[in-house]
Every structure is written in structure tokens, then in C-alpha cells.
Amino acid sequence: MADDTPSDVTATPRTTDPTENAVPGRFDGKTALVTGSTRGIGEGVARRFAAEGAAVVVTGRSAEPGEAVVEDIRDAGGAARFVRADMRDPDDIEVLVGATVEEYGGLDVLVNNAGVQTETTAQDATMDDWAFVVETDFRSFWLGAKHAVEHMGRGASVLNMSSNHALLTMPGLFPYNAVKAGIDGMTRAMALDFSRQGVRVNTINPGWVEIARTREELADVDRERVEAMHPTGRIGTPADVAGVAAFLASDDAAFVTGASLVVDGGRSAVMEDDAYVDYRTSD
């Protein structure tokens, strides 16, 4: 791999607790629905909103981890409930939004976070590969926002979780990379359409964030090498993304809509000397 980052990079502060830098009371009286929030980035975002005063709806396909997240939020003094939903099912999405509004009387923040990934090429991908990613990572974002905005008022916010793969990518991640680029375009379209209701829409584009799946990947590669690829000197945590989500959904970002905010430790700012560098390839 090209030596594309300084060897003396000082790592930025790191926290694994998404509530550590929470702003108490910022979302008092507000309701947040976070899809795909039984683990990983979504869990971190849900915990952050709850710590800042929002009533949070946690959702996913598996009840046990979802209820565990809810219990932890409640133990910390927050308000939360779990609603099971498969984001590939349009009916589930409509019911999910309805259950949120029925429980809390409204909806102020929707975080479209549920996502899946396949590793295949454009040439080898099947229709099933395409449908699996598009229905989960793309169609569900549209349907979630479509139903949510009916219950949102001035100052509400929709956040779409994309990836730095919307900007640049590597071989063998189709259709994931195509869908993530599409999310950025969807956000801009929604920002215009939902402006009539005073609802802002933005995208978050995370890079390499340490969650269960990526920890498995890190076990097979040189972690120091991966972290050296980042000007921050480290990879991200769900807490890094959660802090950005809370900012974008807050009144501090009232003049921000239709934007895509890259949260990847500067990785996408680094120029590679090798055309197809793949961190998964061993020497």
C-alpha cells in the first residue's frame, strides 16, 4: 500500500460511550425514531438522543437485542420503547411510524439507519443481491420519510445514513456503493420537497466505524495499517456518528438541509498512489 498518511499522526480523542458528550435537555419533549437501532451505529444514535431528552423508538428485526437497548436507556433515566419491524416490508414501515406517533403523540426526528451490505461485483451481482440492498438501504428510507413527514412539523428533521462509499469506493462492493450514492441524491430531493412542511433532511456519510462486523474484519488485517489510513489516526466509533446525528437534528443546524456530512476521520481526503488499493489484500 502507498505510504499516504504521515507516520507521526496524533490520534484524535476517542470515546465508545455515545452519551459522554450529550447535551442535556436538547431534545426535551421531542420524539426520535431510529431504524436499525438494536446494535452498532443505530444503537449509539438512539442512546445519544435519549441522553439528550428525546423519547426514542428503537426498532429492528430481533426483539431481544432491541428490548435490551430499551432497558439500558430506561435504566439511565431515558424514555424508550421497542417496535419490531423489517425495513424490507413496506407495511411494517407504515405500522412502525404509526406506532411511534400513537405512543408519543408526534414525531420530530427520523433517523433512517437500517442497512445491509453485500460483497459482489456489478458483473456477478444477482437480482436477489440488488433487491436485498435496495429494499433495505434505499426504498425503506424513502418510505420511512414519506410516512414520517405526514406527522412532522416545522423544525423536524430526517437523517439518512449513507457512507463514504457514496463518494469513493473499492472493487466488489456492488450494489452497496451504488445505493449509498443514491441516498445522497435522495436526501437533496427530500430536502426540497419536505421544505414545505419546514422539515430538514440531511445525510451522514460514515467511514470505517468499529462495530461487530468491522471488528471481525479487523481481526484479519493489520489494525495499525488501517488506522494509519486515517488522518485522525484512528477509526470511528458509534459515538462519533451519534454526536453528528444529534447536531444535525438539533436547532444548532437549523440552516442545514440537503447536505451530506462525511464522518470518516478524513479517510476520503487521502489520495492513493495505487489505483486499486485493497486493505484486505495481504502482502
9 burial class (0-12, 13-18, 19+ CB within 10 angstroms)? middle
Q: Cβ distance 164 to 268 under 8 Å? A: yes
Evaluate whether residue 12 is within a structural domain: no
Question: Looking at 104, 176, 276, 279, which residue is catalytic?
Answer: 176
Evaluate whether residue 61 is within a structural domain: yes
Q: What is the DSSP string of 43-85?
A: HHHHHHHHHTT-EEEEEES-HHHHHHHHHHHHHTT-EEEEEE-
What end-to-end distance do the CA atoms of the chain give, in Å?
9
CATH number assigned to the domain comprising residue 91? 3.40.50.720
Residue 112 has a pLDDT of 99
What span, in angstroms and rounded, lies between the C-alpha atoms of 13 and 275? Answer: 31
Evaluate whether residue 169 is within a structural domain: yes
- Residue 203 φ then ψ, to 5°: -110, 145
Beta-carbon count within 10 A of 200 CB: 23
Q: How many domains does the chain have?
A: 1
Q: What is the pLDDT along the chain (283 residues), one digit of tens a residue?
A: 334 444 567 899 999 999 999 999 999 999 999 999 999 999 999 999 999 999 999 999 999 999 999 999 999 999 999 999 999 999 999 999 999 999 999 999 999 999 999 999 999 999 999 999 999 999 999 999 999 999 999 999 999 999 999 998 889 999 999 999 999 999 999 999 999 999 999 999 999 999 877 677 777 777 888 888 899 999 999 999 999 999 999 999 999 999 999 999 999 998 764 444 454 544 4
- C-alpha closest to that of 209 among 28, 42, 24: 42
136: domain range? 31-266
What span, in angstroms and rounded, lies between the C-alpha atoms of 62 and 32? Answer: 19
* Grid coordinates given for 260: 451530506
Local structure of 120: helix, strand or coil: coil
Residue 275 has a pLDDT of 43
Active site residue 176: yes
Q: Cβ distance 239 to 210 under 8 Å? A: no
- C-alpha closest to that of 167 among 262, 97, 75, 74: 262
Evaluate whether residue 25 is within a structural domain: no
CA-to-CA separations, 251 to 13, 197, 218, 255, in angstroms, rounded: 25, 16, 37, 8
Residue 1 has a pLDDT of 35
Evaluate whether residue 21 is within a structural domain: no
For 240-271, letters b (16+ CB in 10 Å) and e give bbbbbbbbbbbeebeebbbbbbbbbbbbeeee
Q: Which residues contact 230 (CB under 8 A, 6 or more apart)?
A: 5, 9, 207, 208, 264, 265, 266, 267, 270
Evaluate whether residue 271 is within a structural domain: no
Evaluate whether residue 273 is within a structural domain: no
The residue to which cell 417496535 is assigned = 83
- Residue 205 φ then ψ, to 5°: -115, 85
Evaluate whether residue 22 is within a structural domain: no
Q: Cβ distance 51 to 22 under 8 Å? A: yes
Residue 248 has a pLDDT of 99
- Residue 20 φ then ψ, to 5°: -60, -40
- C-alpha closest to that of 113 among 16, 30, 168, 46: 46
Residue 225 has a pLDDT of 83
